[in-house]
Chains A and B, each alone.
Chain A
Amino acid sequence: MATINFEYAPAPESTAPVKLRRRYEHFIGGEWRKPVEGKYFDSVSPSTEEKLAEIAYGSAEDVAEAVAAARRGYERYWRKLPPRERAKYLYRIARAITERSRELAVLETIDGGKPIKESRDFDIPQAASHFFYHAGWADKLRYALPGSPNAEALGVVGAIVPWNFPLLMAAWKIAPALACGNTIVLKPAETTPLTALLLADICIEADLPPGVVNIVTGDGATGAALVASDVDKIAFTGSTEVGRAIRRDTAASKKRLTLELGGKAAQIVFADASLDQAVEGIIAGIYFNQGHVCCAGSRLLVQENVHDEIIRRLRKRIATLRLGDPLDKNTDIGAINSRAQLEKIRELVQSGIDEGGELVQAPCALPERGFWFAPSFFTGVAPSFRIAREEIFGPVLSILTFRTPDEAIEKANNTPYGLSAGIWTDKGSKNMYVAQRLRAGVVWCNTFNQFDPSSPFGGYRESGFGREGGWVGLREYLNHR
């Protein structure tokens, strides 16, 4: 019998739940507020290059208003509220995210280009779980800082979040800030503001007191204005370069600071690992969200005696990845978030070719419109190559080899970053030996990209400082007392 045609037919998620507005304003003091300067910018879908909406451009004046509104919200309402009442609001927001999860997932995918299966199964459920988790903490803060039973809120938090997990990163900041009794001004990324603005609708629905959550949209200058404003803390997730500037600008001020920055995570695969499962972890580590992940496993260190075997399996596996319409439920690789990011990826890939790496790309056709990059990996990479040192933030893996556990540890640590790492071995003692010696905030053993609100996340060295999630994440939003 001849084999049949079992190519998956298109299975697009309906966009019906999403009602885009023509124009989005700032969300300040519980209401929609036009930008003082009257300027707007376009939000574009990276998979079609179509304009989605006009977004208010935040000036320093807008930021100042938002911070003032947050201060009023803090003094008048939020700090006076019994903690268990704060919890009720957080539970309400968490439930609303769950109830509107389809709408949020579709919007996240349209705005950012990530596959619907990821926004549906990861971003949105994780965002809801961060609110649920932190809601539980709101009236238990006397246990949050050991030896400090009277810990209290900082005041107004300024949060600046990136475009790779727009709603989730907003949730990582808003949920603990509010649970600890702070109010917040959020600045979403320029290319992906829409789900945060939908979250503003949810705050209105939840009857959150005015000024507790404020959202000012804009670009890097808007973010810089927020950093310079009268906030008590800055929580930033983004590039190391910007993080460095923020640290400079907040030095010798009252402002507390947490930074969650870039990474160049090593995945160490030993010869005794379950190789097929290690390949799955490698795939998940680098191609999840098109590699737009700060903790992406972008440096693969393979024990030399299984190098060819791993490459053979990787070659076959990337051929099964489906790139295309992010709204299609069968899409594994969506669009690159912006033209600027695509150019950065191309530039670094070219440097890898120029320096002598061998590029392997999945044999997939790229759509004509939109921003796309086929899942790729480089073999024959030396630690000195730019693609082995710099964060590409795209679906590009650099593969290096090692001979002994100590060499693997040395190579893995030989980076200014230190956000995450992965270890693949069937031997428990080796897992422990290596994990103890890796300088990274998160080390995953025989798995990768596992997240939970109760598990703190954050970096060593130039990947930042401070932790998000878990009870240690709370202390970033509290003063000892």
Chain B
Amino acid sequence: MLTIALPSESPSVDAVMLEARASQFAKRSIKAATKLAGIDLAIACMDLTTLEGRDSPGRVRSMCAKALTPAPGVRSVAAVCVYPNLVATAKTALAGTSVKVASVATAFPSGLSSIDVKLDDTQAAIDSGADEIDMVIDRGAFLAGDERRVWDEIVEVKRVCAAAPRPVHLKAILETGELGSYDAIRRASDIALAAGADFIKTSTGKIGTSATLPVALCMAEALRDFENRTGEVRGLKVAGGVRNTKSALAYFVLLKETLDDRWLSPELFRIGASALLDDLLMQREKELTGHYAGIDYYTRD
């Protein structure tokens, strides 16, 4: 592992041209074979998610079944994403399959607990079988200017992940909707990457503002520069706000034109979503058969 240090500064990001560039991605016209390939890729990159106070073992088991076989003849999603208490249930339901179990941790979604609680939370999720940890960064500390604390926490959580008996991937949720500017999003991205996050992730899905194309572009630029500086390749996860096929495909255009084709893979890109899957399945059917099936032909988990 590299010697890591809190990066001294991050490049500035100008909102006007960033948003102008991002708007071009959604204007690419994705048709025919490209569209079908994109739909299959979106399914393969999906972290099918349920993060509600009322989540129960029964609900998680039925979601896992759908994650494994979204529809007849359709391959599995990348992972399911659940609260720590439900990791064991998901792990049992998905035993022996390729579908990973991701768990939110570190006092999700606010992250406003002591570091000990956060580390215990992470350890518990790993002990229950989690393959991936989606941690939240401490936005309060970040906005108060205490970057050191944000960085230390990611380093600590990463240490817990690295100590696990199997590879456990760490995704750092920046909750970009709370950071207030693209400069801050870029800064948080750089801190998280330097601290060892395997993925940087946009949002918790728990506040109004979730993933957007400009935010993802800002983070993709951080990933590109990070590889350029260190030679290390890290991933991006967009979460919340990706509700239909068209918007999912725009993210692939963004990745292709900002990073490169290596990111068109669940190894380096994830979409955290729930409602999106049904739209992808409908659009897939449309591409294959030429017509839409009714919404009741798709399962509600």
Chain A residues within CB distance 8 Å of chain B? 1-11, 117, 121, 272-278, 280-281, 284, 320, 329-330, 426, 446-447
Contact = CB atoms under 8 A, between A and B. Distances in A.
16 contacts: A1-B267, A3-B265, A6-B34, A6-B256, A8-B30, A8-B31, A9-B30, A11-B29, A11-B31, A272-B12, A277-B17, A277-B21, A278-B17, A280-B20, A280-B21, A447-B16
Contacts of A6: 34, 37-38, 41, 252, 256, 261, 264
Majority-rule SS of A interface residues: loop
Nearest 4 Cβ contacts at the A-B interface: A11-B29, A277-B17, A274-B14, A329-B29
Contacts of B267: 1
Contacts of B221: 276
Given A3-B262, A446-B14, A330 B28 contact: yes
Majority-rule SS of B interface residues: helix
B261 A8 contact: no
Contacts of A280: 17-18, 20-21
Contacts of A1: 44, 265-267
B98 to A, nearest CB: 10
B40 to A, nearest CB: 7
B17 A447 contact: yes
B2 interface: no
B264 A9 contact: no
Contacts of A7: 34
B4 interface: no
Given A11-B30, A11-B31, A446-B14, 13 more contacts: A1-B266, A3-B262, A4-B264, A4-B265, A6-B264, A9-B34, A274-B14, A274-B18, A275-B11, A276-B221, A277-B16, A277-B17, A280-B21
Contacts of B16: 277, 446-447
Contact of B29 (A276, A330, A426): A330
B257 A274 contact: no
Contacts of B261: 3, 6
Interface string B4-47: 00000001111011101100000111111111011011001000
Contacts of B262: 3
B181 to A, nearest CB: 12
A1 B40 CA distance: 13
Nearest to B34: A9
A123 B13 CA distance: 29
Interface in B176-199: none
A3 B264 contact: yes
